[in-house]
């Protein structure tokens, strides 16, 4: 009897289970999309997403604004390389030679090297990838950008011995990229897909893209997370605009209260009907026959649409990784703290893409090729190039200066760090997007010119006054 009573109140023993809720099954996960292996997923989706991203940037003002903000932050006026050769004269010679070549770097003659950097960054953001073909001709080394769709995405085959072609990119048996299969057509051709691709060695082609993970062969547009939302914003904007137009219309409707007419206009041809069909003037009084009433259309506009649209635009900005005000253009709710916090986060994201993608995949290889080509052509005198090649092609890269929210406070912070020996002048000047040697040369030239003209040095004057 006692045993039965104890068993009655004893908690029931349950089987323990270990699992992630995210991997569980059940009603809450029904219809939830999944993501397969990264390589096949990106190859299947790349062309579709690229086409939609181009359309969004060309037609959606918020998409265009977000892309321009990201490209401007990544490249700005250009990422400038500076030689790190141990000899000062060699550094100067390399810098001057490279800058002369940069003016003629574009094979199409439309821009310079820094304009090509902006075009590459734009292609990476919109298309997900950029291809640059390095060619050698009468002008020496030059760069021609290749549209992403010209690298044959439909060309995938086994070559034997472990070698293969995947989406137009040829890999050796060890997984090294050895070639790109490109359609020999011009961008204005209507039927470029009919052309058979030709093989370009990997040594003559640069492929710039941000890999999402291991195994990815082709790039995915940066707009992929926000394309659906941009389309929905377009639809919402159109619906609200139509609603506003309808609400602005003044329309009246005659109602036959007694139901005495057959549905046709009972006033056709008389004075009342003519007046009502042509509209009503302010201050007029009109008489209606007995049994008729009039009502006016009063369509209701959607409520709280402004807050909802702002939230949607913030989601788009978050997906692109840019501050919301750069997407919407709205600074009404911004203040110093919010602007500074958003720009600091934006700067960190931009620096990551610059240092992990643009510089190692495009800017550095271009600098090395340009210096090598200048030495081989005799434009740059480097007798020890073969034995000291690494030193000749070594460089630092200075991205464009990011704007400050409060220049006075930021400059004071930099000066305090310099005084505290927490950073060097080279670091401080590099953060501004300049080369310290070029800055020092300009300062020395300014002082020499002031001394020659008998002008006082403002810095020395201020120091003497402070003393």
Residue at 272 is within a domain? yes
- State mean pLDDT over 30-46: 83
Number of domains the chain contains: 3
- Between the CA of residue 238 and those of 60, 231, 287, what are the distances in Å? 12, 11, 40
Residue at 18 is within a domain? no
Half-sphere CA count of 274, side-chain side, radius 13 A: 3
H or E, element range at 296? strand 292-296
Q: What is the pLDDT of residue 465?
A: 47
Is pLDDT at 318 greater than 70 in this prediction?
A: yes
- State mean pLDDT over 15-30: 75
Same domain, 65 and 191: yes
Q: What is the pLDDT of residues 187-225, one digit of tens each?
A: 566 665 567 889 999 999 999 999 988 888 999 999 999
Residue at 84 is within a domain? yes
Residue at 434 is within a domain? yes
What value does the mean pLDDT of the chain take? 82
Q: Which of the given ranges, 208-222, 225-239, 302-316, 359-373, has the highest pLDDT on average?
A: 359-373
Is pLDDT at 260 greater than 70 in this prediction?
A: no
Same domain, 123 and 218: yes
| Whether 84 contacts 94, CB under 8 Å | no
Q: Compute the distance between CA of residue 268 and CA of residue 261 in angstroms, rounded to an integer.
A: 12
Is pLDDT at 70 greater than 70 in this prediction?
A: yes
Residue at 4 is within a domain? no
**Among the three residues 293, 320, 347, which one is the final residue of a domain in this structure?**
320
Same domain, 96 and 206: yes
Q: Compute the distance between CA of residue 324 and CA of residue 304 in angstroms, rounded to an integer.
A: 19
Residues 6+ apart with CB under 8 A from 358: 74, 75, 79, 117, 120, 121, 124, 208
Q: What is the pLDDT of residues 407-458, one digit of tens each?
A: 787 788 888 988 898 888 887 887 776 778 788 888 988 888 888 888 865 5
Higher pLDDT, 143 or 453: 143
Q: Compute the distance between CA of residue 116 and CA of residue 104 in angstroms, rounded to an integer.
A: 11
pLDDT > 90: what percent of the chain? 36
209 burial (CB, 10 Å; 0-12 / 13-18 / 19+) is buried
Lowest mean pLDDT among 94-103, 258-267, 294-303, 324-333: 258-267
Is pLDDT at 385 greater than 50 in this prediction?
A: yes
Residue at 382 is within a domain? yes
Same domain, 86 and 140: yes
The predicted model scores a pTM of 0.78
Lowest mean pLDDT among 7-11, 151-155, 218-222, 291-295: 7-11
Same domain, 179 and 83: yes
- State mean pLDDT over 159-187: 89
- State mean pLDDT over 144-163: 91
Same domain, 430 and 289: no
Residue 437 lies in domain: 406-459
**Among the three residues 350, 370, 400, which one is the final residue of a domain in this structure?**
400
Same domain, 249 and 379: no
**Among the three residues 352, 382, 400, which one is the final residue of a domain in this structure?**
400
Same domain, 122 and 67: yes
Coil, strand, or helix at residue 235? Answer: helix
| Whether 43 contacts 218, CB under 8 Å | yes
Beta-ladder partners of 137: 140
Report the alpha-carbon angle 83-437-344, nearest 5.
85
Same domain, 52 and 151: yes
- State mean pLDDT over 47-59: 93
Nearest in space to 249 (alpha carbons), one of 177, 324, 305, 299: 299
Using only C-alpha atoms, the chain has a radius of gyration, in whole angstroms, of: 34
Residue at 237 is within a domain? yes
Same domain, 303 and 452: no
Same domain, 174 and 275: no
Nearest in space to 366 (alpha carbons), one of 76, 74, 132, 90: 132
Same domain, 297 and 442: no
- State mean pLDDT over 123-129: 95
- State mean pLDDT over 291-315: 73
Higher pLDDT, 168 or 289: 168
What the block records as the tokens of 301 is 């506009």
Is pLDDT at 165 greater than 90 in this prediction?
A: yes
Residue at 2 is within a domain? no
Q: What is the pLDDT of residue 295?
A: 72
């Amino acid at each position: 009897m006692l045993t039965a009573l104890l068993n009655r109140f004893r908690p029931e023993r349950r089987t323990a289970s270990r699992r992630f809720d995210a991997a569980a099954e059940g009603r809450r996960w029904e219809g939830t999309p999944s993501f397969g292996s990264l390589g096949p997923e990106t190859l299947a989706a790349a062309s579709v997403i690229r086409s939609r991203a181009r359309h969004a940037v060309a037609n959606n003002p918020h998409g265009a604004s977000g892309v321009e903000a990201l490209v401007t932050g990544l490249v700005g006026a250009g990422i400038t390389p500076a030689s790190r050769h141990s000899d000062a004269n060699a550094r100067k010679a390399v810098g001057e030679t490279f800058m002369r070549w940069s003016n003629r770097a574009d094979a199409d003659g439309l821009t310079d090297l820094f304009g090509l950097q902006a075009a590459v960054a734009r292609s990476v953001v919109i298309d997900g990838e950029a291809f640059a073909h390095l060619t050698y001709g009468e002008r020496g080394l030059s760069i021609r950008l290749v549209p992403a769709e010209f690298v044959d995405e439909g060309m995938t085959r086994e070559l034997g011995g472990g070698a293969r072609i995947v989406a137009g990119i040829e890999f050796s048996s060890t997984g090294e990229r050895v070639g790109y299969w490109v359609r020999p057509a011009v961008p204005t051709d209507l039927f470029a897909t009919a052309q058979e691709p030709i093989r370009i060695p990997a040594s003559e082609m640069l492929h710039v893209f941000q890999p999402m993970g291991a195994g990815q062969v082709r790039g995915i547009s940066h707009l992929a997370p926000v394309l659906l939302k941009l389309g929905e914003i377009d639809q919402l904007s159109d619906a609200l605009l139509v609603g506003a137009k309808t609400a602005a219309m003044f329309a009246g409707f005659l109602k036959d209260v007694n139901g005495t007419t057959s549905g046709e206009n009972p006033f056709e041809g008389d004075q009342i009907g003519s007046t009502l069909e042509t509209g009503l003037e302010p201050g007029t009084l009109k008489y209606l026959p007995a049994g008729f009433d009039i009502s006016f259309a009063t369509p209701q506009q959607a409520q709280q649409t402004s807050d909802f649209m702002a939230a949607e635009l913030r989601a788009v900005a978050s997906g692109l990784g840019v501050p919301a005000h750069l997407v919407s253009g709205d600074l009404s709710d911004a203040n110093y703290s919010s602007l500074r916090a958003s720009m600091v986060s934006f700067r960190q994201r931009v620096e990551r893409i610059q240092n992990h993608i643009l510089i190692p995949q495009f800017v550095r290889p271009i600098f090395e090729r340009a210096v090598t080509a200048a030495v081989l052509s005799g434009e740059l005198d480097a007798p020890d190039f073969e034995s000291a090649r690494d030193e000749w092609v070594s460089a630092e890269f200075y991205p464009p200066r990011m704007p400050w929210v409060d220049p006075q406070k930021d400059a004071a912070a930099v000066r305090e760090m310099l005084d505290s020996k927490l950073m060097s002048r080279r670091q401080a000047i590099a953060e501004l997007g300049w080369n310290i040697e070029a800055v020092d040369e300009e300062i020395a030239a300014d002082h020499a010119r002031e001394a020659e003209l008998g002008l006082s040095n403002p810095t020395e004057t201020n120091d003497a006054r402070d003393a």
